[in-house]
Chains A and B, each alone.
Chain A
Amino acid sequence: MGLIVGMDAGVFLAWIGTILATILCLLYGLYDFLKKKPAKDKPVNQKKKSKKKTEEGE
């Protein structure tokens, strides 16, 4: 049976699986980082919205 990066299929699966598991951890952190950003912007948007509303009202 052929080798992939010098490893058989079972070992290669573990090798690539370890790297993918690390990428999963990184993506989880990245998702959390991106998910939290809009929440920080929210008050600014609300202020803008309320300003707009008051302008419209005027």
Chain B
Amino acid sequence: MDVLFFIGVMALFIGIYAFLGYLGYKKTKTTEDYYVAGRKMGATMVAFSYGATFISAVALIGFSGIASVYGHSILWLAFLNIFVGIFIAFVFFGFRTRKMGLELNAMTLPDLLGSRFQSHRLQIASGLIIAIFMVAYTSAVFLAIASLFQVTFGIPYELCVVLFTIIVGIYLIVGGAYAVMWTHAVQGIVMLVGMVILTLGIYAMLGGIGPAHEAAASLSVDQLIAIGSPAATQAPNGLTSMPPFLSPPFMMVLTLIFGVGIGVLAQPQLITRYLTAKDEKALRRAVPYGGIFILLMTFFAFSIGPLCNVLMVQNNISYPTKMVAGVATANPDAVIPVIVNQFFPVWFVVLFLFAILAAAMSTAASLFQTAGAAVARDVYEKGMRKKLAPDRLILLTRVATFAIVIATLIITLYPLDVVAFMTAFFFGLMACTFLAPYALMLYWRKTSRGGVWAGMLGGFIFTMLWYVLVYFKTAPKIIGHSLIGDYTINMLDPIFIGLPLSFLLTIVCSLYLKQDTSEHKIMEKTFTAMKKKTS
């Protein structure tokens, strides 16, 4: 690898990010500017920002690797990513969220909940949950990307972590939401170019769509065993077939598809994107752009994962491994980097690494931004019960974001087991905690403060208990074994039970603990605003 070439491209990107951070700083005058880019973003920017936040390095590298293990059945997740993650999200959640946000002058999800239900405590509690778990999740994003750079370039892990965190931290703290949105556009373009070239290249090497899929379907168990691919056991019906119904691989695919596919609706960092749109038209026009972006990202990434096995078999390349407790274990995360290194020219290796870096940075920037806002606006300002002047609040948010960036840096440099668990919890936890209160807040007039507390805490506590006591990946590491031995139960993502439970609790408790006068007044106000056709 040409280190000078790499440093040159890196310097170019740092220059672009620094410039956009400076522009964002100059444009930021109000708290709305800092939190939601002045609510002035057009369709393309909203779509790019939503897509770049949605698609992290884990989605591209991690899930392509998972597809190389479980085969094309993981494409159901790509379907949900577009149908639920874009269409349902924007059409059924985006417009109403934006209108409610405008009416209540809310700029974060906890802000929406707190203002809608007239509860500082609700805002503080949800802000705390988001801030704490988001730090862990952001640290995981950096951990993954730093490991990738260490393996590919031999750059020390610590240097990568410090470098990436500082770059993202600086342009975010200085430039606020404007800088985040603009850098998302740059990062989104790099991600698109990288994924499209990689996918077209792999399909071209294998003779096109049909021949490539047929080659993957015809791989025998012996061939997969010969290269050490876990697909030999995890894709028992072949790489282009669904696994047997209710078998462990089926349960694994099911839990991934629904955990991530539905969980996306309640991610606070994505909800903030709706609030940046300048009008309803921008959100409507973002739907096709977002659909195409996610198609070129996840559909392409999940399609090429299983095909990597074909390339490895045809070229006698061993499936990548990593040492876990002294034992060589299959490492799906390294599949795409290995294929890129082996089959693509050097310029593309650099481009692809920057695409992955862009995916990690864009997600991390949104996470930092959401966590910083949660601490400053939702926890500190509401906890103090004092309205701060806009410039004071922006300063406070910058300080809070800086503290979060430093905390993330320390956690990433000295990763603890608890962080790994919190990361594993993140998607399911956000969905089970916030989706029911958030959806009912938008659609059901009778939703009350008591109901939202019950649904939020019920979902949160159930999900934590499920991960600690039952879930097959986390429970054995925390308490030694899962309390439920049946794999069809313990492999289920908590979303299957936690989400209906959270809906039930929110509805039942809203019926018993009815809205008070102030809540009712706000409800009438927001629902009237949401009925208005245009904005």
Contacts and interface: CB of A to CB of B under 8 A. Distances in A.
Interface of A: 3, 5-8, 10-11, 14-15, 17-19, 21-22, 24-26, 28-30, 32-33, 36
Given A18-B75, A18-B299, A22-B82, A28 B287 contact: yes
A21 B240 contact: no
B292 A11 contact: no
Interface size class for chain B?
35 or more
Given A7-B72, A17-B79, A22 B291 contact: yes
8 contacts: A3-B217, A8-B237, A11-B71, A14-B73, A24-B83, A26-B292, A29-B287, A36-B281
Contact of A6 (B73, B212, B299): B212
Given A6-B210, A18-B75, A18-B299, A29 B241 contact: no
> Across chains A and B, which 10 residue pairs bring their CB atoms closest together, nearest first?
A6-B213, A25-B291, A29-B288, A10-B242, A8-B241, A14-B75, A6-B214, A21-B83, A21-B82, A14-B76
B284 interface: yes
A6 to B, nearest CB: 3
B461 interface: no
Interface in B267-313: 281, 284-285, 287-292, 294-295, 299, 303
B334 interface: no
Interface string B77-90: 01100110011000
Contacts of B210: 5-6
B217 A10 contact: no
Nearest to A10: B242
A11 B288 contact: no
Interface string B472-504: 000000000000000000000000000000000
B88 to A, nearest CB: 10
B16 interface: no
A6 B82 CA distance: 23
Contact of A21 (B72, B79, B215, B289): B79
B87 A15 contact: no
B254 to A, nearest CB: 12
Contacts of A11: 71-73, 75, 240-242
B455 to A, nearest CB: 29
B209 interface: yes
A3 B237 CA distance: 12
Nearest to A7: B240
A12 B210 CA distance: 12
Contact of B217 (A6, A26, A30): A6
Interface of B: 71-73, 75-76, 78-79, 82-83, 86-87, 91, 209-217, 237-238, 240-242, 281, 284-285, 287-292, 294-295, 299, 303
A26 B86 CA distance: 11
A48 to B, nearest CB: 25
B204 to A, nearest CB: 16
A8 B71 CA distance: 11
Given A6-B210, A11-B240, A22-B292, 11 more contacts: A3-B213, A8-B241, A8-B242, A11-B72, A14-B73, A18-B75, A25-B87, A28-B288, A29-B285, A32-B285, A33-B285
B241 A22 contact: no
Contacts of A36: 281
Which of A3, A18, A19, A33 gathers the greatest number of chain B CB atoms within 10 Å?
A18
Nearest to B241: A8
B79 A14 contact: yes
A40 B87 CA distance: 26
A8 B79 CA distance: 16
A7 B287 CA distance: 29
A6 B240 contact: yes
B214 A26 contact: no
Contact of A25 (B75, B214, B242, B287): B287
Contacts of B91: 28
Contacts of B86: 21, 25
A20 B196 CA distance: 19
Contacts of B216: 6
A26 B295 CA distance: 12
